[in-house]
Copies of this chain bind each other. A is one copy, B any other.
Amino acid sequence: MKPQPECAACVLRRAVFEANLVDPAKAMEVVKGVLQTLCEKFDETKPSIKVWTAVHRKVYDILGTDDPYKELKRKSNDIAMEMFPLALEYYKKSQDKLRAAELLAIAGNILDFGVSIKDPEDFRRKFQEILKEGIYHDDTEQLKKYLKGHVVYLTDNCGEIVFDKILIRELRKYVDKITLLVRGKPILSDATIEDVYYVGLHKEVDEVKTTGIFAVGVDLDIVPPEIKELLYSADLIIAKGMGNYEALSETDLRPIVYMLRTKCDPVARDMGLPRDVNVVKLYPP
């Protein structure tokens, strides 16, 4: 995906949010740094993730931190683990296990403090609402023919990875091997390998790999060759969340299924879908 007009304001808001998490006194310096980065790089011809990665690199450098979200991520994981029994009950009671597991994994995608939700109570309420909404764009039927062999599962946020457990357990009924691919370095509220071990998701998969890099989503231009090889050799890629969509929507990786909630207009527009809906979208369709 390419940057769209609304994205500049959004990434600036996010940068202020990060400054306020770490050192509010540096917020003006952060904003000026981000403006400089955007002046150099914000362009409708560049892959959007490269611009966002450069912005967050700049912000983290100014703030002198390698992870402004550290505490929030821990909190997200804890809240999600607290909610897990309820989610599991929902799954067990559902007739259509695969769709129920997909929907839970998508609902977990709203667990990003400061973007979609304000506090744990807000999360619980929205999580229930999302389960009621169901999957708006649903390629689950077409997806089934690709559910075999080796699946590479690209995670997104902390907290969300707890709900991924249920989907991964369900996938086990269909596939031979599941590799989890997580971010190589802390960026935004995305899960790293430490989070996977913290919530115990490593026990559900055959292997856990990291991209090895600091990047929004998965930047195929800079990941190590073995990660590229892993992705191109998979029988199916499951990509969670908008960052992974932005990163991979213009690559030739196939088959790939995006599971996400359209939390902003640019991503919704790019996918040809409304905003604020739950999506299981397969390429090729």
Give chain A's interface residues, CB within 8 Å of chain B. 3-6, 8-10, 12-13, 16, 19, 27-28, 30-32, 34-36, 38-39, 42-44
In the A-B complex, the 7 residue pairs with the closest CB atoms = A5-B27, A9-B12, A9-B9, A9-B13, A39-B39, A5-B16, A5-B31
Q: Specify the chain B residue showing the minimal Cβ separation from A32.
A: B42
A35 near B30: Cβ-Cβ < 8 Å:
no
A16 near B27: Cβ-Cβ < 8 Å:
no
Copies in the complex: 2
A-B contact pairs, 11 of them (CB 8 A): A3-B28, A5-B28, A8-B34, A9-B9, A9-B12, A9-B13, A28-B44, A35-B35, A35-B38, A35-B39, A39-B39
B6 near A9: Cβ-Cβ < 8 Å:
no
A180 to chain B minimum Cβ distance, whole angstroms, is 34
Given A35-B39, A35-B42, A9 contacting B16 (CB threshold 8 A)? yes
Q: Which residues of B contact A38 (CB under 8 A)?
A: 35
A33 to chain B minimum Cβ distance, whole angstroms, is 11
Given A12-B12, A35-B35, A30 contacting B42 (CB threshold 8 A)? no
Q: Which residues of B contact A43 (CB under 8 A)?
A: 32
A31 near B8: Cβ-Cβ < 8 Å:
yes
A188 to chain B minimum Cβ distance, whole angstroms, is 17
Among the listed B4, B6, B12, which residue makes an inter-chain contact with A8, where contact means beta carbons less than 8 Å apart? Answer: B12
CA distance A38 to B34 in the complex (A): 11
Q: Which residues of B contact A19 (CB under 8 A)?
A: 5
A6 to chain B minimum Cβ distance, whole angstroms, is 6
A1 to chain B minimum Cβ distance, whole angstroms, is 14
A16 to chain B minimum Cβ distance, whole angstroms, is 5
CA distance A149 to B10 in the complex (A): 48
Q: Specify the chain B residue showing the minimal Cβ separation from A14.
A: B9
CA distance A215 to B62 in the complex (A): 33
A10 near B8: Cβ-Cβ < 8 Å:
no
A31 near B42: Cβ-Cβ < 8 Å:
yes
Q: Which residues of B contact A4 (CB under 8 A)?
A: 28
A106 to chain B minimum Cβ distance, whole angstroms, is 27
Interface centre among A3, A4, A13, A43 (most CB of B within 10 A): A13
